[in-house]
Structure 1
């Protein structure tokens, strides 16, 4: 249904690239694909109610992007209501080198037979669409819920510590399984870890829309504001499902499970042939990749660094942390006018920030809830602080050879904590 919010801005108004096909989207641009992607090589135009592959009826949208759109569809071949997610790849990306095809290698290796298979989003079907913008690969997947980072907004948690630990265990288990097959995911981050749904199949369409809400749309118009008749573009685009709104109802909240599911294997590669060409954002890179697998700078304790005493004391403090050198007259150094000493920058260690994992964790966690301006702050039990810090320290070692593996991490004490301890 059309979105009647008159506080519209167009994609052009928001500084987006001008369309090359003379089309623009009349509506809030957030969460939508771009109008200029509806041309040769781009997205396949889809309307609500379309029947794809003579089987899948389009009901709603699950997500949009510059690579694909994902649609919520009903599988009409099933007697009882059954729902699936259709990921339609842009035509220019629908080639034999399509990253989405990499998942099939994992299936051939036996990933689908693993006891942890429920933690991977594996395709149910695949077909092609020959449309006005080219040939598109279409992958049929199970319908999944929001990304794991939204767990606080979509699952009612009195104590988030326990379910968070469960999600961490599940994702670590999934990574361990991938590594067993000699595969690195390459883009392992919250955006690619979704929560599973339960109880969706069996609902009729009316019940489905009662939970997800009716689809909201925005018109696709010519740049002049007139309607278009181009077969390469839809008459409107659809806003994705808002999972926070879905979870606000009891029925919607009950659909969303505390079960992690790994998606998007487009960056995966064989561990035996690592690559520097990764698409994962830097904040999620493993430590050695942040420096392009080069050596770390000289550490403060290095004996080969002859000038280290100018900056740091030989001994650490009682917590094993580095102490800045005191370049003052007490040490025979004024810091000013003593030849080369004058050029030595004074090292100031900022004490306002935590200087260890233990200190950072001890500050607690702050969760932002959609319906709370102030959010919720939760302290971490004292017993858990040292245990969790120990796990992180072993996971964050710079050298991969010194880092514990996912399988070893699963045996760590933090994952063995009893519920009463969390």
Structure 2
């Protein structure tokens, strides 16, 4: 759900914790009192932006907000109780920003899908007017942690769970591509495990499981709590799923967030929203978004789900650094990318590469082996059996072919030997 490109207006002011005087105030003259990490940009609460939401608000005359599930560049997502359901029932309410709520809203493309066990489809939708404009609202089943977060890391059948998660996301992408839709933002944070066990519980029981919502006051220029209608009086930190009982999570994840998706028969977006670690070389060098760039992102995503770490995990989010990292693993870029298109290659490249211009399976096998990344014990990492590594590396190599036309399709990937192991 990240914007493309995300707005950076007022980001310095928003992080100026404890300072009532703005050096460079955002246009709405608002800031957060506490740490803004994990929250949407406060500057986005203005005309055309997010709808201001407070806990216990009833939206669409039906959904009462009780917690925050997430946020991105295009929407905020809330846990809400359905007040018109026959029994106590909960749902995820996704509120699209006003300037993205037109008839061309990418989320509407999912209307082509009638049923899919691998994709999270809306069960209801409505329009809502607010101080910042008119907003599309989609109601989804409640989803929890992302597939690569290691929610099941203590389970004896972890290999099977992760393998099944990889199959689920591959099947989801195959279904989307069959309809002529490019997802455009495929990554593990958009592959979430469903949550069960809330329906039938009272609101205070659900909050006892999730933890009480934590608020970050929104302050105006004078340092007072905001009362202007265009922004809320506070932002809410999302649920921390790592603190929730893992038995509530279903093992088969769902693909979400079609905010960057588009019909491949029409023009691709001018600013493709795929984050740097999942961007294909043609996306970096030519802004060429499409089915092939989705397949590259699928390869990176499968690696991350299976291992718990990124294939291209760099300190600097710079295009040259990612191209350099690709070459270290996959060999030199093909022409004319290597000699002509990559203008800063002579500056960025400081080492020799594998002689092959195609993928180097041995290098991908090496990336699946334990290494220095295990120094970070705060994140989930998974060892892979030795007999599985070359087979998995072969699948990854077929999805990470430099030439877009040489990448196997998601449907073909499902027939790969690794999915039959």
Q: TM-score range by the shorter chain?
A: 0.7 to 0.9
Q: Could you say which residue in structure 2 is the equivalent of 1:55?
A: 62
Do the aligned partners of residues 16 and 77 (structure 1) sit closer, same or farther apart at CA in structure 2, a change above 3 Å counting?
Answer: farther
State the partner residue of 1:408. Answer: 412
Q: What is the CA deviation profile of residues 82-106 of structure 1, one whole-angstrom value per residue up to 9, with x for unaligned ones?
A: 11111112222222222222222x2
2:247 counterpart of 1:242: no
Q: What's the CA shift string for 1:2-42, capped at 9, x where partnerless?
A: xxxxxxx9824169963322222111111122333222222
Could you say what secondary structure the match of 2:47 adopts?
A: coil
Give structure 1 stretches of 5+ with no counterpart: 1-8, 247-251, 295-320, 323-346, 418-422
- How far did residue 146 of structure 1 move? 1.9
- Please tell me whether the aligned partners of residues 366 and 377 of structure 1 are also in contact (alpha carbons under 8 angstroms): no
> Secondary structure of 1:77's partner?
coil
Q: CA-to-partner distance for each residue in 1:364-390, whole Å, 9 max, x for gaps?
A: 2579899x8376765432321221222
Deviations 1:212-248 (A, max 9, x none): 00111011222222234322222221111111122xx
User: Residues 24-35 of structure 1 correspond to what in structure 2 (within 5 A)?
Assistant: 24-35=31-42
Distance 2:69 2:24 in 1: 24
Q: Distance in 2 between matches of 1:89 and 1:72?
A: 15
Among 8, 32, 53, the residue aligned to 1:46: 53
Q: What's the CA shift string for 1:241-271, capped at 9, x where partnerless?
A: 111122xxxxx21111221211122332334
CA–CA distance in structure 2, aligned partners of residues 91 and 374 of structure 1: 38
Match status 1:261 vs 2:254:
yes
With over 3 angstroms needed to count, the CA separation of the structure-2 counterparts of 1:127 and 1:377, relative to structure 1, is: closer
Distance 1:125 1:374 in 2: 38
Larger radius of gyration: 1
Task: Output the TM-score relative to the length of structure 1.
Answer: 0.72
8 Å contact 1:193–1:262 — kept in the other structure? yes
Please give the TM-score of this superposition, normalised by the length of structure 2.
0.72
Name the structure 2 match of 1:112. 114
Question: Relative to 1, partners in 2 of residues 1:377 and 1:45: Cα closer, same or farther, differing over 3 Å?
Answer: closer
For residue 174 of structure 2, what is the aligned residue in structure 1?
176
Q: Which residue of 1 aligns with 2:273?
A: 279
Matched-pair contact (CA < 8 Å) for 1:368–1:376 = no
Partners of 2:360 and 2:397 within 8 A in 1 = no
**Counterparts of 2:88 and 2:35 in 1: how far apart (Å)?**
32
Partner of 1:11: 14
More off after superposition, 10-19 vs 36-45:
10-19
Range with greater deviation from structure 2 (17-26 or 173-182): 17-26
Pair 154,214 (structure 1): closer, same or farther in 2 beyond 3 Å: farther
Given the alignment of the two structures, is residue 364 of structure 1 paired with residue 363 of structure 2, yes or no?
A: no
SS in 2 for 1:71: strand
Deviations 1:68-93 (A, max 9, x none): 11111000111322111111122222
Query: How many matched pairs?
Result: 341
> Are 1:190 and 2:193 matched, yes or no?
no
Equivalence for 2:125: 126
Q: 1:232 aligns with which of 230, 233, 236?
A: 230
